[in-house]
Structure formats: structure tokens, C-alpha cells
A and B are shown apart, each in its own frame.
Chain A
Amino acid sequence: MSFNERYPMISPETLVFVLVGASIVLILVVVIRPSITASREGKIIAFLALFILPVVTAGVGASEHMERSEQTQFCLSCHIMEPYGKSLYVDDPAHIPAAHFQNHRIPADQACYTCHTDYAMFGTIQAKWEGLHHVYVYWFGTPMNPIRLYHPYNNRECLHCHAGARSFESATHMAMMDDLKSNKLSCTTSGCHDTIHNVEKLGEAKFWKPLE
């Protein structure tokens, strides 16, 4: 029996549940018998129960939520995103998101996040901030119809994976590399890779059914 089999890694989710349980038990001790805080030991228990453990538990929980929010399933949990999820199954290699998703050029379980995060410093935080803005607009405002990006799509997100890849080293790409890097020319320019989610035409599209 290997070390990992004997001592399986505890998942962050389990850790949160264990921490929540431990915190609640300690808090209940303080809530039921607050007089224990008269002693030095009681003060330490109260500090652990009412400050240290809840802060650690909230931190681990927040980290787990952040991790989960990168999943395709999370993005598609909003009704408004359904057509975009459906567009990942279009049976046409010219559809850029569909071709990336179906051929696992990006992790299928983090499809939205992989292409729509900002590959710069604090990119993940910016992506989450914009995500919170989406939720705010969804519930308290009027969502754009059709949905548009807040900023033009940055080539940096494509080049993060494609730059340096052998399949990318065509004469066409190399000739325009400077313009691509400086965003003077978009990868999604008309005539290049211009078929993105195309949700308006989903009714006419054929769909790929993955074999289970």
C-alpha cells in the first residue's frame, strides 16, 4: 500500500467542513458558558473560537470558492450563459471556442476561464471582479443583449498558449507577429479567426455529441 493510498490527501472541501465543525463546537462552548472567559485559558479558547478559527475557515472557504469559480459548470450556471455553453458543441472547426473545447486545446472543465482570464499580473483577481460585475448586472441591471466583452479581446490571451508553438510558426503569423503582440491587429479580425461563439446562428448549427 503506497503512502498516498494509506494517507489520502484531504480535499479542501473536506478541510472546510472539518474546520466549520470544529469552529462551531468551540463557539458553542463559549456561547453556552461565556463565564469560562474569566480564566486565562478560557480567554485563549474564546480567541481561538471567535477569531482565529472563523478567519482561517473563511479563508479556506474563499479559496475553494475561487477555485470552483474557474470551472465551466460555474460560468454556465447563469441562465444567460447557456447559449455560450451550447456553442462549445458546434460541429464546425471554424468555430474557435468549439474547436478549442472539443479538442482539449484548453482544459474542458475550465473552458471559459482559460480564454477569458487576463494573463497578466492580478489577472485572476480582475476576472473575479468582472465576474462579480456580471452578477450585479444580471440581478440589478439590464444585461447586454447580445453579450459583449467589456474590452476588445486581447491577443495576449491567445499568444499565452500559441506563441512558440510549432503549429503557430506559419509565415503568415510570423509576418504579423509584431502587430499581433501590440494588438494593432486582432487574432479575431475578419478573415482570420473570426467565428467566435456566434450564438445568433446556433439555430442553424450542427452539434457534436461526445461519446461517453
Chain B
Amino acid sequence: MLNKLRTSGVLLIFGLVIEALSLCWNTALSFMSFVVIGGLFFASGILLFLYSLVSGGREVREN
């Protein structure tokens, strides 16, 4: 679970940095990088975090 939290955090940091960088320009390319690349990091980071909550609960029950 702790590894999943770490990975999720790293993915979210990448997503946040891409979001901040994309706001430095007002072009279609920066919008697309926010939506596609940033969105991918955000979605995977958040989904991994949510998965870690579910699987973490299961691990505790199994132990």
C-alpha cells in the first residue's frame, strides 16, 4: 500500500507540474498538453490512490 501511495504521489506531482507549466503559455499546444499529458498523470495518480485504499483495506483484513 505504501508503495502505491508513493507512486500515486509522484504521478500527481508530474500532473501538477505539467498543469503549472501549461498555464505559462496561451496556445492550443499548452491546452492539449494539459488535457492529454497532465490529464493522464492526474487520472492515473488518483485512480492508483483510490485503488491503494481499496486494496489496503483488503490487505489489512487478510492479515
Contact = CB atoms under 8 A, between A and B. Distances in A.
B13 to A, nearest CB: 6
A179 interface: no
Q: Is the interface of A mostly helix, strand, loop or mixed?
A: helix
Q: Is the interface of B mostly helix, strand, loop or mixed?
A: helix
A50 B10 contact: no
Interface in A18-70: 20, 23-24, 27-28, 30-31, 34-35, 37, 46, 49-51, 54-55, 57-58, 61-62, 64-65, 68-69
A195 B5 CA distance: 59
Given A35-B2, A61-B34, A77-B29, A28 B9 contact: yes
Interface residues of B, number: 31
Given A23-B16, A24-B16, A31-B10, A74 B28 contact: yes
A73 interface: yes
B31 to A, nearest CB: 5
Contacts of A35: 2
Given A16-B23, A31-B5, A51-B49, 15 more contacts: A20-B16, A20-B19, A24-B13, A27-B9, A46-B49, A50-B8, A50-B46, A54-B45, A57-B19, A58-B38, A64-B23, A65-B31, A73-B26, A77-B26, A77-B28
Interface of A: 13, 16-17, 20, 23-24, 27-28, 30-31, 34-35, 37, 46, 49-51, 54-55, 57-58, 61-62, 64-65, 68-69, 71, 73-74, 77-78, 131-132, 135
A-B CB proximity, top 4 nearest: A77-B27, A31-B9, A34-B2, A50-B49
